[in-house]
Amino acid sequence: MLSSKQLTFRDSALVPIWQKVQQGIRLTKDDGLVLYATNDLIGLGRMANEVARAKSGDTVYFVLNQKFEPTNICVLSCKFCDFAVKQGAPDAYEQSIEDMLSKLNPDIREVHITMGLHPDWDWQYYVDMVRRIKEAYPLIDVKAFTAVEIDFFAKKFKKTHEQVLTELKAAGLKTMPGGGAEVFSERVRKLLFNQKIGAKTWFEVHKLAHKLGIQSNVTLLYGHIETLEERIEHMIKIRDAQDETGGFLTFIPLAFQPGDTGIKTRNNFTSAIDDLKTIAVSRLMLDNVPHIKAYWVMLTAEVAAIALNFGADDMDGTVGYERIAHDAGATSPMMMAKENLISIIHEAGKVPVERDVFYNPLAIYPAKETTIVSKMPYLNSVPFYSGYETFSKDLKLVPLVPRVFGRFANEGMIDAGPMSLMDFVANQEEFEMLDYGVAVNGKVYSVLLYSHFEWNALSGKKIGITAESSTSVELLRVLLEKKYGVKNVTFERLHLTSSSNDYTSFDAVLLIGDEALRRVKLGGLAQFLNVFDLAEEWYSWKKMPFVFAVWAVRRSVPTEIKNEIVAALERSLASSIGNYTQLGHEHAKKLGMTKEDLLQYLNAFSYTLGETEKAALDEFLKEQAILLSAE
């Protein structure tokens, strides 16, 4: 949730905008222009930083990636591009797939591919490029081909956009970059890149990709001939498209590098102030885009570090062999060591979190003397965090789904937070339980089994189980075997990212948290006819509540820090009672829930663990132990 604290501003014009942001009222074009016009840079940055913290806690994500531009030969001649050349030019080059594979290693988690539009390469070469990378390095995710390239492939090889995207996805394409967007202004397109696709085709390609389960990024190239109005209009068009598909992962403002293009700009390079304003304005305008990237390759590492307190929550990793920006005169170093990147994030007062292409956390790198607290990113946990802004500077929030929290607890990367019950049991020698948690007495609405069959007909069937929690999975196992006598069920973990899952291959699917809520509002999942609420099933059997998660603190955390965490929890829960519609409004809206849905949902939970909840917890663990002993 967004902090309720009041900010002070030197520019009074920012006050009503901050009030709108706090109330979840969407900013207008005029609001965006006020933000750009302000001289209160610090006030603007503080607003954007609060919005970023509400979404990502104190986290700054990074991914170790390898950038490839397999050729600079291009059939287009865009005025702003210093990278592309014509076939036969002295500096023309072509890179083989073997060349690309030779530059990869198992530490890299993302390959980012963009290139010129080559006149002669055949379609199979592009498909093989993706396929062979995935075959050689299964853990590397491929982010490849802008909408301009997808459109070029379709025209050159006489395919539809859908055929191109479907074949690339089958080869291993995970996401798409946001390049080619430039500025969604027809005036600018005609003057600078009239041969390139415009906004209409760009959005058609990305919306189709989202429909096919390929998420993507989106960019803004700023600092050339575009007006501030055109920048804001660009952001609003992105926001509207995101309302429709929800498929954009990250917005990336790209500062124009003039190089030898001959394009006259107000200054040779954008100023640091313009860069920081654009990061902050985009965070405030794009309320539905999860992440804002500070692209240090163009900003420089120094400006990118400041941007981490102006609304950005993502930085690129090594970006090895990036050429497009540097051919245009980018002044930053082409590669940045992982340790250096982590150091920059620490200096910004943030927590470096290594991620995969979908922003699933892989590792946390806290600074010394820092206590990391999990911020469970579900609607049902909103009441825990309204007091987080009063934490000391050494207490940092990192969003983690329960199962990832459990893994990081095992690896010593996390110190406190709402832990999945089964993960707490596995780690109770290292963690102590507080008197807070997530419990429900009856329906939970967000731990749902979608099934083609009734309970007693699930024997021998295959069930897809959530990758987000261990406790819900164990509850399902107990219900199947102990309540209904169902045997020989095959469980298969789903992907953490819902767009990567093929639900049609299962006889039943267990979903939890926000994804379960979202599916309810969408009318269900695939063709499953039956929906079972696991907490309701438990209650009808035991007449007891069910405890899904417990707040736990690592035993080595100093007493004063533990007391601070407890005090923040008490403040948060005290301020949340009777205030659910305000606290959870923005979060619920993204899931398609009404005010009435929100109240019904949050009122179902108990957030303090009394004797009844602890007795229910013990009863479940007893049933689960009996189940394990019989195996």
Whether pLDDT at 179 is above 70: yes
The amino acid at residue 18 is W
Q: Given this model, what pLDDT does residue 85 score?
A: 64
3-state helix/strand/coil string of 30-90: HHHHHHHHCCCHHHHHHHHHHHHHHHHCCEEEEECEEEECCECECCCCCCCCCCCECCCCC
Token pair 């189709």 is at which residue? 208
- As to burial, measured by CB atoms within 10 angstroms (0-12 exposed, 13-18 middle, 19+ buried), residue 150 is buried
| Structure-block tokens of residue 567 | 């005090």
- Is residue 76 very low, low, confident or very high in pLDDT (cuts 50, 70, 90)? low
What is the percent of the chain with per-residue pLDDT over 90, rounded to a whole number? 72
Mean pLDDT of 52-63: 94
pTM above 0.85, yes or no: yes
Whether pLDDT at 267 is above 70: no
Q: How far apart are CA 316 and CA 127, in angstroms?
A: 25
Tell which CATH architecture fits domain 369-442+546-630: 3-Layer(aba) Sandwich (3.40)
Nearest one of 209, 228, 208, 211 to 220, comparing CA atoms: 228
Are β-strands 314-316 and 248-255 bridged in parallel, bridged antiparallel, or unpaired? unpaired
Q: What is the pLDDT of residues 497-553, one digit of tens each?
A: 877 788 999 999 999 999 999 999 989 998 899 999 999 999 999 999 999 999 999
**How does DSSP classify residue 96?**
-
Whether pLDDT at 268 is above 90: no
Q: Given this model, what pLDDT does residue 426 score?
A: 94
Q: How far apart are CA 124 and CA 97, in angstroms?
A: 12
Mean pLDDT of 19-30: 94
| Residues pairing with 551 in the sheet | 418
Mean pLDDT of 308-312: 97
Average pLDDT, the chain: 90
User: Please, what is the end-to-end C-alpha distance for the chain in angstroms?
Assistant: 43
- As to burial, measured by CB atoms within 10 angstroms (0-12 exposed, 13-18 middle, 19+ buried), residue 96 is exposed
Q: Please determine whether the domains at 57-363 and 369-442+546-630 fall in the same fold group of CATH.
A: no
Q: Given this model, what pLDDT does residue 71 score?
A: 86
Non-local CB neighbours of 164 within 8 Å, separated by 6+ positions: 150, 153, 154, 157
Whether pLDDT at 207 is above 60: yes
| Structure-block tokens of residue 184 | 């969604």
420 contacts 406 by C-beta, under 8 angstroms: yes
The answer to whether the Cα torsion of 488, 504, 145, 63 is positive or negative is negative
Nearest one of 515, 553, 244, 473 to 379, comparing CA atoms: 515
| Structure-block tokens of residue 167 | 């074949």
Mean pLDDT of 11-28: 95
Nearest one of 217, 74, 80, 200 to 149, comparing CA atoms: 74
The amino acid at residue 183 is V
- Is residue 322 very low, low, confident or very high in pLDDT (cuts 50, 70, 90)? very low
Q: How far apart are CA 99 and CA 453, in angstroms?
A: 51
Whether pLDDT at 441 is above 50: yes
Evaluate whether the domain defined by 447-527 bears CATH number 3.40.50.720.
Answer: no
Q: How far apart are CA 114 and CA 97, in angstroms?
A: 14
Q: Given this model, what pLDDT does residue 584 score?
A: 87
CA distances from 103 to 87, 113, 191 (A): 25, 13, 38
CATH topology of domain 57-363: TIM Barrel (3.20.20)
Mean pLDDT of 4-12: 86
**Domain positions in the chain:** 57-363, 369-442+546-630, 447-527
Q: How far apart are CA 180 and CA 81, in angstroms?
A: 11
Q: What is the pLDDT of residues 108-144, one digit of tens each?
A: 899 999 888 888 899 999 999 999 999 999 999 999 9
| Residues pairing with 451 in the sheet | 508, 530
